[in-house]
Structure 1
Amino acid sequence: MGKGSKDKRDLYYRKAKEQGYRARSAFKLLQLNDQFHFLDDPNLKRVVDLCAAPGSWSQVLSRKLFDENIDTDSEEKKIVAVDLQPMSPIPHVTTLQADITHPKTLARILDLFGNEKADFVCSDGAPDVTGLHDLDEYVQQQLIMSALQLTTCILKKGGVFVAKIFRGRDIDMLYSQLGYLFDKIVCAKPRSSRGTSLEAFIVCLGYNPPSSWIPKLDVNTSVDEFFQGCSFNRLVISDKLSHWNEEERSIAEFMACGSLESFDSDATYHDLPSSIANTISSLDPVQGPTNPPYKKALELKRSGKLTRSV
């Protein structure tokens, strides 16, 4: 999609550039916070951003926790961003290029926190969508479960977990599973998230795991084995067919975030306010790609080594 047309079509895309954010997704976290105020807690000191690249959510966290006008307790506040892809530096953010499923990543985060637990964990990660909704929803839920495993090992009791989800036919199963670990589950749809997308965000408030359960991250342990003790799996294996009873579905509260005065991410604005219309121009990216997949192809082309075969 052309840069000029996208600047005019999606105002969140343009506003992200104007305000110095690396991606429009920054407004999703901002609008979630406007509703739930989890980043406005004065006791918020240790934060983890999973699947963080390119870093727009980490930018929001940095600006919220490290207000230039407030210097108190700034040394105690720490933000750790984790992703398999490299990330350009962000003020006040420690970036880790690591796998969120590996125990070494957990150890590195706890070491940075001085073996203290995190107050807030978020994940805006998503797989490369295929267009096959059932497959995309399944892969996304597996990503959430991977993020959740790490979260249960580093999040303090009463903490908050926020993650991107794809709402589908079986999403109530995820709501039910999260309900064993948190006091309140809310499904939220920010106004900056396109209405045509299955994307939403699960906001998990009040981390409260079973007292008898001790999470332990292990690469050789399956998801089912990891969550044993949380009543995630109530299926009893038997060679006899048990009597079937329909279980009550767990439906999370749904909430739209962002005021009605916010821009509609699906709308095309032709008659813009004069303050915006007078400033329409092409903007350069806030942060260029750190390691684009086409980099090697460009180098070969410049050197004359990339030719089209007949």
Structure 2
Amino acid sequence: MKLKTARKHSPSSQRWLERQLNDPYVSAAKRDGMRSRAAYKIIEIDEKYRLLKPGATVVDLGAAPGGWSQIAAERVQSIGDGPGQVVAIDYLDMDPLPGVEAIKLDFTDEGAEDTLRSMLRGGRADIVLSDMAAPTTGHTRTDHLRIMALAESAAYFACDVLKPGGAFLAKVFQGGTERDLLDLLKKRFAKVHHVKPPASRADSAELYVLATGFRPALDAADDATDD
């Protein structure tokens, strides 16, 4: 579909708008009442790896506008008097969601991790999700370093709050996870995978790293596998 008002937009804005109009996941999100097309990424990942179990406690980092939190709340049953819990954080505004305890705060701010931990039942989580991404600069290496720094911060937080057997899922960039982060995940988790769900645009450098089977012991054997 081509925009009739294309002359009013810059070339880059026009391409983005046309891509949105032609994106089946954008259409599906509107039809299904999803907060964003990103909801389908977590749906597809969860359908394959079964992360979001009823009664689980989930932390969603970089949650706005709430696509992942919306799905997590449904699947861990945190809505109403359900047994699950979903805690979400973002420095952007996010409209309230049933079953989601959201705070407006930058995860990288001092004290943010302690605030999140204080909100968790027993101070622990079963799953830490991170779809955080820094504003892009257009410089590939700089953007890669920024998103990897966020992923590494999220991973260290996950290692502080996860229960034994817990899972960690974070956005990274194509080209894979930096060696330091990968070494950390392989030491502390039983399995490590790189995942690109179908809802992630084929022309995007976006990729996810999934670590499952968290092991609290610092000297856990380094026998994780990487797909």
Q: Same fold per TM (> 0.5)?
A: yes
- From 152, 161, 185, give the equivalent of 1:145: 152
Residues 141-220 of structure 1 aligned to structure 2 (within 5 Å): 141-168=148-175, 171-211=178-218
Aligned equivalents of 2:60, 2:31: Cα separation in 1: 23
The question of 1:104 aligning with 2:103 is answered: no
How many angstroms apart in 1 are the aligned matches of 2:175 and 2:59?
27
Distance change in 2, residues 1:193/1:181 (3 Å): same
Residue in structure 2 matching 1:134, options 117, 141, 166: 141
Show structure 1 runs of 5+ residues with no match.
214-229, 232-249, 254-310
Confirm or deny: 8 A CA contact 2:78 2:85 kept in the other structure.
no
Instruction: Indicate the percent of aligned positions where both proteins have the same amino acid.
Output: 31
Structure number with the higher helix fraction is 2
Structure 2 CA distance for partners of 1:174 and 1:112, relative to 1, 3 Å: closer
Alignment CA distance shift 1:144-1:170 (3 Å): closer
- Per-residue deviation at 1:97? 1.3
Query: How far is 1:94 from its partner?
Result: 0.5
Which structure would you say has the larger RCO, counting Cα contacts within 8 Å and 6 or more residues apart?
Answer: 1
Structure 2: stretches of 5+ with no match in the other structure: 1-12
Q: CA deviation at 1:55?
A: 0.9
Aligned to 1:252: 226
Whole-angstrom CA distance in 2 between matches of 1:170 and 1:112:
29
Is the CA contact 1:101–1:150 (under 8 Å) kept in the aligned structure 2?
A: no
Distance 2:110 2:213 in 1: 24
By how many angstroms is 1:53 displaced? 0.9
Q: 1:67 to 1:143 in 2, by over 3 A?
A: closer
Q: Distance in 2 between matches of 1:97 and 1:161?
A: 22
Task: Provide, for residues 138-168 of structure 1, a one-character-per-residue CA deviation record: whole Å limited to 9, x for no partner.
Answer: 1111011111222222111110000011022
TM-score of the superposed pair, with normalisation by structure 2: 0.82
1:90-128 deviations in Å (ceiling 9; x for gaps): 001000112323563333333322334101110111112
Contact 1:187 1:202 in 2 (8 A): yes
Equivalent of residue 48 in structure 2, options 28, 35, 38: 35
CA apart distance, 1:62: 1.4
SS at match of 2:121: coil
